[in-house]
Amino acid sequence: MQRICVRLAKSHAEQYEIEIASGALERLGEAARGALGARAQRILIISNPRVFSLYGENALKSLRAAGLNAKHWLMGDGERFKTLQTAARALQFSAEIGLERNDAVIALGGGVVGDTAGFVAATYLRGIAFLQLPTTLLAQVDASIGGKVAVNTSAGKNIIGAFHHPRFVLIDTDSLRTLPAREMTAGWCECIKHGAVGSRKLFDDTRRFLQHTRDQSFASLKEYDERLSKLIAEHCRFKAGIVRGDEREAVERADKKSRRILNFGHTIAHALEAATNYRRFRHGEAVGYGMIAAGEISVKLGSLDVAELQTLRETIALAGRLPSAADVDHDGIISRLKVDKKRVEGRLRWVLLERIGRARVVDGCEVTERTLRDALRAALRYDSVA
Ligand SMILES: NC(=O)c1ccc[n+]([C@@H]2O[C@H](COP(=O)([O-])OP(=O)(O)OC[C@H]3O[C@@H](n4cnc5c(N)ncnc54)[C@H](O)[C@@H]3O)[C@@H](O)[C@H]2O)c1
Ligand SMILES: [Zn+2]
């Protein structure tokens, strides 16, 4: 088992643990009791029908064995259900079952469930304890860590939210066995991003793991599980470290340790997702293309070596096949970037690379439209990833 202690900003003594192991779900009740203390009585699991049908019964059983009165509430499956209406219904249910201040909400699912359940926990009775049981790779290495919880509105994604840290995060790597391949690819793209912006070692460890997985060169399932738990732990540690240094994503910060560097590949990813009506790509897949495009821009501005860009491309290819982006209209992407720019008072900032393991934030005006178009052409070609 891997265990990580996440300390929040130096100014306050709060901390929480992340536990990572194959079969960790069995320990849910014990871990919840440990984190919540003896006064907790009720616990509400928020999940969706797909995830709950796979893991819900075991979660309830473990919580009940620890003497907790566990109930569940299911939301629809998909980003379109991450709304204020869903949160309102969950809040109403929380009141109906009489959740009290010492009780807690558990998120059992991917990032959509995690963000919505976290928002419910942050607002119910002005904030009650929140536990995370993330079941997608993306939620395990990214969404469950950092305390950001939110829902979408018609005005945009994550418009209404809060900072509300979990009391603990329990990661059962076995849950990834039922996860569709595309969801794994999406999660691996965010992992590659972590390494690319902040740690060559993390990047290389991730690349090696993906290579071994593709070559099926693990000696046994046990070895695979152990290496996977260690790697996920490394990613959690990395994300927690960045968050700790910049807990609330200070708007004025643009240094190499700011939370902003985690946006590498995201400027173009968001535009690509919007240009395809959020239907073609999983977010992480769009980040795969976005990282290649940002890498191309970095090379064109003379900041990144072309061999490093090739390594980045090959590693993204190891994460899995991305849906084709060859037919996406570049004008559509560029007009969406302009909308983005207006939203941030005319200042679009790009996260580029100096090398793998080191990011640099540059002002939008350094990237001309010509550079951008060249980068899109090179990045979105059908065969561009491999
Ligand atoms: N709060 C943050 O800091 C943060 C960071 C990154 C992303 N996010 C948010 O996370 C969301 C995306 O999360 P996601 O990629 O996990 O998507 P998701 O939650 O939609 O899950 C993807 C799909 O996998 C299914 N699923 C989940 N676990 C499964 C399992 N173990 N086996 C089989 N199927 C399973 C889900 O039902 C869903 O259909 C977005 O809303 C994004 O805004 C938040
Ligand atoms: Zn992302």
Reported as a single tens digit per residue, the pLDDT across 255-289 is 666 788 999 999 999 999 999 999 999 999 999 99
What is the CA(27)–ligand 2 centre distance, in A? 29
Residue ranges, CATH 3.40.50.1970, the chain: 2-178
pLDDT computed for residue 383 by the predictor: 63
The model carries a pTM of: 0.95
pLDDT computed for residue 289 by the predictor: 97
Which atom from ligand 1 is nearest to the alpha carbon of 50?
37
Q: Which ligand minimizes its atom distance to the CA of 158?
A: 1
pLDDT of 141-165, one tens digit each? Answer: 999 999 999 999 988 888 999 999 9
Asked if 371 and 297 count as a contact pair (C-beta separation under 8 A), the reply is: yes
- CA 4 to CA 16: how far, in whole Å? 8
What is the CA(63)–ligand 2 centre distance, in A? 31
- CA 39 to CA 104: how far, in whole Å? 11
Maximal CA-CA distance, the chain: 63
pLDDT of 85-138, one tens digit each? Answer: 999 999 999 999 999 999 999 999 999 999 999 999 999 999 999 999 999 999
- CA 297 to CA 247: how far, in whole Å? 29
- The answer to whether the Cα torsion of 318, 322, 326, 328 is positive or negative is negative
Q: Compute the radius of gyration of the chain from its Cα atoms.
A: 21
Within a 10 A sphere around the Cβ of 12, how many other Cβ atoms?
9
Residues forming beta bridges with residue 198, ordered by sequence position: none
What is the CA(141)–ligand 2 centre distance, in A? 11
Distance, first Cα to last Cα, the chain? 35
Residue ranges, CATH 1.20.1090.10, the chain: 181-379
For ligand 1, mutation pick of 115, 145, 173, 232 (most atoms within 8 Å of CB): 115
* 179 pLDDT above the threshold of 80: yes
Q: Which has the higher per-residue pLDDT, 37 or 386?
A: 37
pLDDT computed for residue 8 by the predictor: 80
Within a 10 A sphere around the Cβ of 183, how many other Cβ atoms?
21
- CA 212 to CA 362: how far, in whole Å? 35
**Tokens read off for 273:** 């997702």
- 261 CB-contact burial (10 Å; exposed 0-12 / middle 13-18 / buried 19+): buried
Which amino acids bring their CB within 6 angstroms of ligand 1? 48, 50-51, 54, 77, 79, 82, 109-113, 115, 135-136, 138-139, 142-143, 146, 148, 158, 175, 178-179, 183, 186, 283
Within a 10 A sphere around the Cβ of 116, how many other Cβ atoms?
26
CATH T-level fold of 2-178: Rossmann fold (3.40.50)
Q: Which has the higher per-residue pLDDT, 207 or 338?
A: 207
Share of the chain above pLDDT 90, in %: 83
Instruction: Identify the CATH class of 181-379.
Output: mainly alpha
